[in-house]
Structure 1
Amino acid sequence: MNVFRTFPASVRRNLGILFTAGLLFWSGLAALLPTLPLYIKATGATDQTVGFVMGAFAIGLIPSRGWLARLADNRGRKIVLLIGMSAVAFAPLGYITTQSIPALMAIRAFHGLSIAAFAIAYNALIVDLAPPQNRGEVIGYMSLVTPIGMAMGPAIGGFSQAWFGFTPMFLIASSLGMLGLVCTNQVQETFQAETSISNRPKSKQLFWRLLASPRIQTPAIVLMLIGLTFGCLSTFVPLFIRDAEVDLNVGLFYTAAAMGSFSARLLVGPASDRYGRGVFISLSLVLYVVSMVMLWRAHSASMFLLAAVVEGTGAGTLIPMISALMADRSYVDERGRTFGICMIGFDTGIAMAGPLLGTVATYLGYRSLFGISSGLAFLGLLIFLTCSNKTVFHSLRFALGVGADTFAVEAIDRTASLQSSK
């Protein structure tokens, strides 16, 4: 982490506050992972209904991505950070007030604003601060808030629910968000929209039209397929473990996944600055395939925990690398939008996972869901290997770490410069 010592004191302080806010955000959000499906189930809901309620999270995510991304690019990152943290702080209070399925779905949709806002602004602000030659390293280190928060949050939520019940657990999750709001308010804005561009016209491309861009399309499709597997994990693992009669606190599953994610992020960020993003994205997809197969065949607590570590390692590699990839492929005035539209794929996967896989679970059982998820992850790997760059040849080279990214801004600008000089 010596790279941080080269930053001015004001930047280090800003990153420190941002890191603390990120920890509180992910801890508050993840505290509900092992407990909310059980709370919904306790209202008398069916497996399919649990899937619909949990999937409603993405109803708040998908429609809000566009305007939140534009807000981050046009008005600055801090206001979007505050919106995301507010959703984490206040949504748990809403769950306490009702056991009505429609009301729970509405609250869950509001909760979806949290990731839509916070992830866009957090990643954009980090890229604003990071020098291009150390971009992967800084993103990797700053993204450690996710696995640490995902380790602490489920443990806090799982044990507080077991010891005190659902209402105190929701209050604790809300308190984490409230503390996060205090920290977020101290973040110093660095992005100035009106002065951020030099020697280039400001991008006017519409948010949704970005999805047609080949530099964004393939990462978005890959994230959609992985979003389906993530939605399966977040919704059905607690019910699967209980149905399999395995003696395992569900919170420990998510903690094990977070440990794998933490380890990956420490190593992958700096390495990607040297070897490229493609090979690590490919590796992460392989790990997702392996982890889903392991869950499909799991019959013991040790196998569940090992699968969680492998899945966490895959997630801890994939998300930071996609963030770095989108930063490489974006100009400064469109970072919020490019990351936001790319993450639409992940949102869509989560949205579809609950209702679609909940229906499958009704007829085939929970175990079959993870066999299906392994196939989805394998499909994502094939798509990335063949479609991540301008041709299949360039895609394979990039995905295997032996070729450059032809969609990177530096490569595009260099090509344009050569053409103009002829």
Structure 2
Amino acid sequence: MDYTDLGFRQKQNLGLLLGVSLFFWISITVLLPTLPTYVEHLGGTKPEIGLIMGSFAVGSLFSRTLLGYLADTKSRKLVLYIGLIIATLSPLNYLIVQTIFPLAIVRAIHGISIAAFTTAYSALVIDFSPIKHRGRIIGYMSLVTPIGMSIGPVFGDLLKEHFGYITLFTVSGSCGLLGLLLVAAMRKESKLNYYDSSDTDNSNLSHSFHKILSSHSLIIPTLVLLLIGLLFGTIITFLPLFLEEKGLDFSAGLFYTLASITSFLSRIFLGRVADRFGRGLFITASILSYFSSMILLTQATGSQQLFLAAIFEGIGAGILMPMIIALVSDRSSPQERGQVYSVCLGGYDLGIALAGPIIGILGSQLSYQTIFTLSSNLALVAFILFISQSNRTIKTSLGFAMGKRKDLYYLEN
């Protein structure tokens, strides 16, 4: 990659952002395989576990609009601070609050951290990226996410098994604090791609919240993320319990780690070709990967199916989010980007938020295999939606989704 378009300050800030992202995702993901079992340890039922796990996304969902507005009109760095402060303090509250419904409130507050982090991080990466290298830099800057997510779950399992929940939650909070210190070291925000909100009345932003929701160019990526969020919410809520019930010699931490390693490898490949072949082909491939993962989970009776399911889930996760972020960046102007991210990524949050309680209620009546089968259908609907509605007409949508046509919604920023 040619970095000559980047100044020293941009390179320095991008490097610090990588470190911030690493600590943030470790902080979040040490709890992925452990929090459902912690709630069960406290006496939680399946619907209550679903409620608490889904509450994380509820907090994220309802805070995204405000956080996106702050990122556009005040400071991306301020929003990053908010996310990391919450990531530092929230894990300690899991130890203090040990009843189900107050715990759901704590989990919802914790969810604000991921809304703040992903909105500000994505916007800052775009701010520091020359337009012609945007997809490639997004791909490379997203590599640290699967690294953090591969370390976190296994680390979380080890901490829980050998040191207990007090140490687990303390380490989670400490990782948030380390990320906070790195943010403090960042220099003034770049103006490379950054819109200065003081130059223009905020009422003149191209897309208001309602306009974003009514824009065909942005609502389709949002709906795709909603459907995949429902699917992913099912995995993170019930995979640990499914493996525990079946007595399979395959931990949830190992599943998440394998998925994260595959996600990392797929993003290396993505960084090299993202700007050459367009966004549509990769989004299509990622949705089909999620579908394959869920089908394998429905058939899982041993380690082989789980291993393959983790690989396909990792491919889907590794490609989908960077490409959706690149796609909505292509389709939005710099001054609205924080708000666009907040709405589009909010679709993913909403899916996870709904998955917990809805699937939790169904889980009391259905087997886990049936639940995963329903989730595979969500990926199938997302695939049909994307190949038929991702562009101006069905014909151009199919061409874009197959990598044969350019994006007709692309804006020259």
Q: TM-score, structure 1 length as denominator?
A: 0.94
Q: Match for residue 400 of structure 2? A: 398
Shift of residue 216, structure 1, vs aligned partner? 0.7
- Corresponding residue for residue 250 of structure 1: 252
CA contact (8 A) 2:27 2:175 kept: yes
Distance 2:340 2:85 in 1: 24
Shift of 1:260: 1.0
- Quote how far apart the aligned CAs of 1:364 are: 1.0
Tell me the SS of whatever aligns to 1:3: coil
CA contact under 8 A between 2:72 and 2:197: conserved in structure 1? Answer: no
Partner residue of 1:178? Answer: 177
1:14 is matched with which residue?
13
Shift, 1:378, TM fit: 0.6
Aligned partner of 2:22 in structure 1 is 23
- Give runs of aligned pairs for residues 330-345 of structure 1, distance below 5 A: 330-345=332-347
SS of the aligned residue for 2:31 comes to coil
Contact preservation (8 Å) 1:69, 1:340: yes
- Alignment check: 8 A CA contact 2:390 2:400 kept: yes
- Segment drifting more, 115-124 vs 294-303: 294-303
Deviation at 1:3, TM superposition (A): 3.0
Distance 2:216 2:185 in 1: 38
1:315 aligned onto 2:314 = no
Letter in 2 for 1:173: S
Equivalent residue of 2:364, what SS? helix
Mapped partners of 1:385, 1:193: distance in 2 = 33
1:305 to 2:304 alignment = no
Whether 2:133 is the aligned partner of 1:131: answer: no
Work out whether residues 257 and 308 of structure 1, in 8 Å CA contact, stay in contact via their aligned partners in 2: yes
Cα distance between partner residues in 2 of 1:285 and 1:249: 25
Matching residue of 1:108: 107
Q: Which residue of 2 aligns with 1:190?
A: 190
Q: Which amino acid aligns with 2:351?
A: G
Contact 2:332 2:340 in 1 (8 A): yes
Residue 158 of structure 1 corresponds to which residue in structure 2? 157
Other structure's SS at 1:33 match? coil
Match of 2:374 among 372, 375, 378: 372
Amino acid at match of 1:71: L
**Residue 269 of structure 1: aligned partner:** 271
CA contact (8 A) 2:206 2:333 kept: no
What are the Cα deviations for residues 36-73 of structure 1, in whole angstroms up to 9, with x where unaligned? 00000011111111001111112211111111000000
| SS of residue paired to 1:342 | helix
Aligned residue number for residue 296 of structure 1: 298
Q: Give 1:133 shift.
A: 1.1
Deviations 1:252-308 (A, max 9, x none): 111001011101111113312011000000000111110100011111123212211
CA RMSD of aligned residues (A): 1.7
Task: Kindly state the Cα deviation for residue 208 of structure 1 after the two structures are TM-superposed.
Answer: 3.6
Residue pairs, 1:397-416, within 5 angstroms = 397-410=399-412
SS in 2 for 1:409: coil
**Matched-pair contact (CA < 8 Å) for 2:197–2:335:** no
| C-alpha displacement of 1:203 | 1.4
What is the identity, as a one-letter code, of the residue corresponding to 1:102?
F
In 2, Cα distance between the equivalents of 1:196 and 1:148? 37
Deviations 1:356-381 (A, max 9, x none): 11112111121211111111001000
In the alignment, what sits opposite 1:168? Answer: 167
Quickly say closer, same or farther: Cα 1:366–1:301, change in 2 above 3 A.
Answer: same
Q: Which runs of 5+ in 1 are unaligned?
A: 414-422
Q: C-alpha separation between the residues in 2 aligned to 1:245 and 1:194?
A: 56
* TM-score scaled by length of structure 2: 0.96
**Residue 344 of structure 1: CA displacement?**
1.6
Name the aligned partner's letter for residue 349 of structure 2: D
- Could you say if the C-alpha distance between residues 131 and 196 of structure 1 is closer, same or farther in structure 2, counting changes exceeding 3 Å? farther
Q: 1:334 to 1:99 in 2, by over 3 A?
A: same
| 1:223-234 paired onto structure 2 within 5 Å | 223-234=225-236
Any idea what the Cα deviations from partners look like across 1:83-109, whole Å, max 9, x if unmatched? 111121111000011211111101100
Q: Hey, what does 1:212 align to over in structure 2?
A: 214
Q: Give the letter aligned to residue 190 of structure 1.
A: S
- Contact kept, 8 Å, 2:139 with 2:274, in 1: the verdict is no
Identity %: 42
Aligned to 1:143: 142
Give the Cα separation in 2 of the matches to 1:140 and 1:205: 26
The match for 1:417 is none
CA distance in 2, matches of 1:94, 1:367: 34
Aligned residues of 1:134 and 1:270 also touching (Cα < 8 A) = no
Deviation at 1:171, TM superposition (A): 0.5
Rounded to whole Å, the distance in 1 between the matches of 2:323 and 2:36 is 30
The runs of 5 or more residues in structure 2 that have no matched partner are: none
Distance (whole Å) between structure 2 residues aligned to residue 164 and residue 208 of structure 1 = 48
2-structure distance, mates of 1:54, 1:122: 23
Structure 2: distance between partners of 1:62 and 1:249: 29
1:103-154 deviation per Cα after TM superposition (whole angstroms, max 9, x unaligned): 1101100011011100011001111111111111100000012101100111
Per-residue deviation, 1:228: 0.5
Cα distance in 2 between the residues matched to 1:5 and 1:233? 42
**Secondary structure in 2 aligned to 1:316?**
helix
Is the Cα contact below 8 Å between 2:10 and 2:190 reproduced in 1?
A: no
What's the counterpart of residue 63 of structure 1?
A: 62
- The alignment status of 1:53 with 2:63, answered yes or no, reads no
CA contact (8 A) 1:202 1:333 kept: no
Task: Give the 3-state SS of the residue equivalent to 1:364 in structure 2.
Answer: coil
Find the partner of 1:382 among 381, 384, 409.
384
